[in-house]
Structure 1
Amino acid sequence: MRMTRLAYALRALVATATAGAAVLVAAAPAAQARPEPKAPEEFVALRSVDPTILQDMRYTTAHNFVGEPVDGYRQPVCILTRPAAHALRQAQRKLLSQGYSLKVYDCYRPQRAVDHFVRWAKDLRDERMKTEFYPRVDKSRLFADGYIAEKSGHSRGSTVDVTVVKLPAVPTRPYVPGEKQVECYAPRAERFPDNSVDMGTGFDCFDTLSHTDDPRIQDAQRANRRLLTSALGAQGFVNLPEEWWHFTFKPEPFPSTYFDFPVARRSVAGH
């Protein structure tokens, strides 16, 4: 009887140990989180190339057409391919001599952020930011009208959303989630108080008034758009005609590669 009890005890101990080992083996893969991808060496933080260029990285905040921080934007840092960053620096030097500065809203954009935009656009119930960013566009038309797509040139690393600020720059006050919205094409004094010069619409305004050469944009607003396009065009940037703020450096180092590393300083650490 004593040997039988001992045998049972040993058998129970072995079973417990085996089960515990199985749990550890099963848990091991989950505990080893896959490391985040890093940017190739050809990418840099814009601030390391030109710290004078102002940055207002909208997708790390709730002040954008989605109404919340966008997937993949971990820190408010502008990341670009090295040639695009150096070309921006050259444009900035010219503008500084004229009493202006560039200000970027968005630079490299991970594919996961584009996927976030796509999910949001398909959810027709979520119109929390409609009044400001797409007041005259039915949300069901965002894909058909070209405002949202499943791929973005930003993910290739040489596209930037940018504006011009008159110096000395007046700080832009923080956005307060839930505050009263004003249409993005309203007069500048009524829109959200961006410190940009008057471009006729705010950034990311889903409206034909955002077309760079829309004939309704006249006088100082047209002159401001031309100031931006000429400064960047001289350095190899090509404007997207539907968005006065959208420019792509040519030739692109990665013309057909869409990256998905996060927007964070660690992505370009040591570059």
Structure 2
Amino acid sequence: MVRRIVALSLIFTSLIAAPAPAVAAAPATFVDLAAVDPTILHDIRYAQAHNFVGRRIRGYLEPRCLLTRRAASALKTAQAALRPRGYTLKVYDCYRPQRAVNDFAAWAGNAADNRMKREFYPRVAKSTLFADGYLAHRSGHSRGSTVDLTLVRLPAAAEPRYVPGQPLVPCYAPYGRRFRDNSIDMGTGYDCFDPLAATLDPRVTGARRANRLLLRDAMTAAGFSNYSHEWWHYTLDGEPYRSTYFDFPVARPLPAG
């Protein structure tokens, strides 16, 4: 009897500790950023092959930036401050369904798949990506108010096309050597799993540091906070869904709740 009570207690404890299942429908407060501010550029990396996995990620049916309306409106505020200075925002990732986060976890568990290592994590072991803070089993992106983005100087140059199988260059290589995505020089490329990607890494100096601070200042003024390990990662202060993780696909129309 004692063993049965202990076993039941352990089961109950595990159920309490387990995270709530992700919500499969979008609330009415989610919007498409393009409808809020069509001047913000898009390069949704997980809807294509140019990312650290090397293929389209589960849940990204279309290359769209979906966000809570408050986050999208705050981005519009940041954009309005940057455009008179000759810059535009460009988003890489916005809302991220839980199924995509699970896809990352499955990929991380496959030690044999390192096809994109040379560009995205040359100096970091794939087995430590979670411990190092580059990946998480629950992502703030799934709450709908976190965005990955950069700055592009106006007028925006044409977006270079990534061709699967092309030679890869480390994401921390000099600006003229690494993959050019028409953004200004931030010291590393996007999704560079390397200490140099930390926003205030002391080795990033001069114009590259100034560019990171330009982005940070504009985003902070609009109500976002930066994740210190990644210069591109920002979350809206006081986000509306602080403990809710969604799992509807990135597509239009949004699945209604």
TM-score by length of 1: 0.85
**Aligned counterpart, 1:66:** 53
In 1, distance between residues paired with 2:214 and 2:197? 16
Structure 1 segments (4+ residues) deviating >4 Å: none
Structure 2 counterpart of 1:131, from 105, 118, 121: 118
The answer to whether the 8 A contact 1:164-1:196 is kept is yes
Instruction: Determine which structure has more spread, i.e. the larger CA radius of gyration.
Output: 1
Shift, 1:140, TM fit: 1.4
Q: How does 1:136-175 map to 2 (within 5 A)?
A: 136-175=123-162
Unaligned runs of 5+ in 1: 1-35
In 2, distance between residues paired with 1:268 and 1:240? 29
In 2, distance between residues paired with 1:153 and 1:38? 17
Asked if 1:230 corresponds to 2:217, the answer is yes
Q: How does 1:171-190 map to 2 (within 5 A)?
A: 171-190=158-177
Unaligned runs of 5+ in 2: 1-22
Structure 2 counterpart of 1:114, from 92, 95, 101: 101
**Aligned counterpart, 2:20:** none
Aligned pairs, number = 235
Structure 2 counterpart of 1:245, from 232, 235, 238: 232
In 2, distance between residues paired with 1:39 and 1:76? 17
In 2, distance between residues paired with 1:172 and 1:217? 25
**Aligned counterpart, 1:80:** 67
Asked if 1:220 corresponds to 2:210, the answer is no
**Aligned counterpart, 2:84:** 97
Shift, 1:38, TM fit: 3.6
In 2, distance between residues paired with 1:96 and 1:243? 23
Asked if 1:210 corresponds to 2:210, the answer is no
Asked if 1:258 corresponds to 2:245, the answer is yes
The one-letter amino acid paired with 1:61 is Q
In 1, distance between residues paired with 2:235 and 2:102? 21
SS of structure 2 residue aligned to 1:161: strand
Shift, 1:143, TM fit: 1.8
Q: How does 1:37-76 map to 2 (within 5 A)?
A: 37-76=24-63
In 2, distance between residues paired with 1:249 and 1:141? 27
The answer to whether the 8 A contact 1:109-1:155 is kept is yes
How much is the aligned-residue C-alpha RMSD, in angstroms?
Answer: 1.4
The one-letter amino acid paired with 1:170 is A
The one-letter amino acid paired with 2:112 is R
The one-letter amino acid paired with 1:67 is G
The answer to whether the 8 A contact 1:44-1:268 is kept is no
